[in-house]
């Protein structure tokens, strides 16, 4: 079975440029998460979608960051304009959330996008 | 107090040793718990879920202590390949209304030495 698919795997670009990261969640999963990981701050949740709707975007650093989920099989995270401090590994993860007690299911992560802003 | 706190690392242990990590959580209503493993420059991967009654998977044992609000991961007969960072994950109780706040610990680094 295909896991979470992210693209690109690596991105190197100059500051000020627009960066778009892409994610295809596992088929059938209804929750999607974008994370950022750095040595200093560890794994940070940026935004969470459920059934394609953004539920919690309190982790999005600032207005330069935006995320969309136009359908159940695709999401993007966009940074515009990019800055050197945005350099990090960005992970997308998906899970299946079902109403009910003890219904939380583990998340499955994509390989990540290693982003370097020069 | 942080929502989820893990033992500070790194843990350096010899091959064959038994090592245990703890992870404390602050929300007493938390219901679901997981341990993830993350290798250097790789994505976190689910290692095991943590059930109320405790569970075992080969050399790995996970336990939950609700009274003291912590989960633990025990690794027996450590292998070199166990070297990684271990992240605990805490999720809330009943899922309703679409919100599933997930909290990751900062991770504990394990280095198994030959």
pLDDT in tens, B27-62: 888 888 999 999 998 999 999 989 888 899 999 999
Q: Residues of A with CB below 8 A from B106's CB?
A: 42-43
Cβ distance of B100 and A43 shorter than 8 Å: no
Query: How far away is chain B from the Cα of A45, in angstroms, using its nearest Cα?
Result: 8
pLDDT at A101: 47
Compare CB distances from B100 to A101, A104, A110 and report the shortest one's residue: A104
Residue-level pLDDT at A96:
85
CA nearest neighbour of B22 among B43, B7, B35:
B7
Angle at B43 between CA A12 and CA A38, to 5 degrees: 55
Q: How far apart are CA B102 and CA A66, in angstroms?
A: 20
Say which range, A8-12, A30-34, A95-99, B43-47, has the weakest mean pLDDT.
A95-99
Q: How far apart are CA A17 and CA A83, in angstroms?
A: 8
Q: Is residue B100 pLDDT above 80, yes or no? A: no
Please enumerate in sequence order all residues whose Cβ is within 8 A of that of A32, keeping only pairs 6 or more positions apart, or say none: A23, A25, A48, A49, A69, A75, A92, A93, A94
Say how far apart CA A22 and CA A83 lie, in whole Å: 19
CB contact under 8 A, A109 and B99: no
Of A114 and A50, more confident = A114
Structure tokens belonging to residue A12: 């190197």
CA distance A32 to A67: 11
Tell whether B43 is within 8 A of chain A (Cβ): yes
Query: What are the DSSP E strand ranges found in chain B?
Result: 4-6, 11-14, 19-25, 32-38, 44-50, 55-57, 60-65, 70-75, 84-91, 103-104, 108-113
């Amino acid at each position: 079975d295909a896991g979470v698919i992210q693209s690109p795997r690596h991105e190197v670009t100059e500051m000020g440029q627009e960066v778009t990261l892409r994610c295809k969640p596992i088929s059938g999963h209804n929750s999607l998460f974008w994370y950022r990981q750095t040595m200093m701050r560890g794994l940070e949740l940026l935004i969470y979608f459920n059934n394609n709707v953004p539920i919690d975007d309190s982790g999005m650093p600032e207005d330069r960051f935006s995320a969309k989920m136009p359908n159940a099989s695709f999401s993007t995270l966009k940074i515009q304009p990019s800055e050197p401090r945005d350099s990090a590994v960005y992970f997308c993860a998906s899970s299946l959330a079902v109403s009910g007690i003890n219904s939380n299911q583990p998340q499955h992560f994509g390989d990540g996008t290693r982003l370097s802003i020069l | 107090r942080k929502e989820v706190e893990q033992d500070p690392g790194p843990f350096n242990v010899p091959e064959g040793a038994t090592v245990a990590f703890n992870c404390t959580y602050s929300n007493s209503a938390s219901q679901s718990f997981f341990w993830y493993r993350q290798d250097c420059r790789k994505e976190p991967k689910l290692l095991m879920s943590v059930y109320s009654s405790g569970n075992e998977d080969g050399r790995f044992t996970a336990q939950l202590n609700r009274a003291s609000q912590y989960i633990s991961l025990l690794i027996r007969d450590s292998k070199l390949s166990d070297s990684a960072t271990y992240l605990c994950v805490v999720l809330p109780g009943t899922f309703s209304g679409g919100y599933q706040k997930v909290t990751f610990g900062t991770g504990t680094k394990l280095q198994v030495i030959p």
